[in-house]
Amino acid sequence: MSIAPAPSFAVHVPDLELEPEPLDPGQVVSGSPEVSGRVLGESPDGRVVRGVWQITPGVVTDTEADELFVVLEGRATVEVEGGPVLELGPGDAAVLRAGDRTVWTVHETLRKVYQVTLP
Residue 58 lies in a domain: yes
- Whether residue 66 contacts residue 97, with contact meaning beta carbons closer than 8 Å, is answered with yes
- Whether residue 76 contacts residue 58, with contact meaning beta carbons closer than 8 Å, is answered with no
- pLDDT digit string, tens, across residues 75-99: 999 999 999 999 999 999 999 999 9
Residue 69 lies in a domain: yes
The residue segments making up the domain with residue 84 are 18-117
Residue 8 lies in a domain: no
State the chain's maximal CA–CA distance in angstroms.
Answer: 48
CA–CA distance, 17 with 119 (Å, rounded to integer)? 29
- pLDDT digit string, tens, across residues 11-69: 999 999 999 999 999 999 999 999 999 999 999 899 999 999 999 999 999 999 999 99
Residue 11 lies in a domain: no
CATH number at residue 46: 2.60.120.10
- In this predicted structure, what is the pLDDT of residue 7? 81
pTM above 0.85, yes or no: yes
For the chain, the domain total comes to 1
DSSP collapsed to 3 states, 59-80:
EEEEECCEEEEEEEEEEEEEEE
Residue 12 lies in a domain: no
Residue 57 lies in a domain: yes
- Whether residue 57 contacts residue 35, with contact meaning beta carbons closer than 8 Å, is answered with no
Residue 1 lies in a domain: no
Per-residue buried b or exposed e for 43-72, using 16+ beta carbons within 10 Å of the residue's own CB: eeeeeebebbbbbebbbbebebbbbebebb
CA–CA distance, 96 with 116 (Å, rounded to integer)? 9
Residue 4 lies in a domain: no
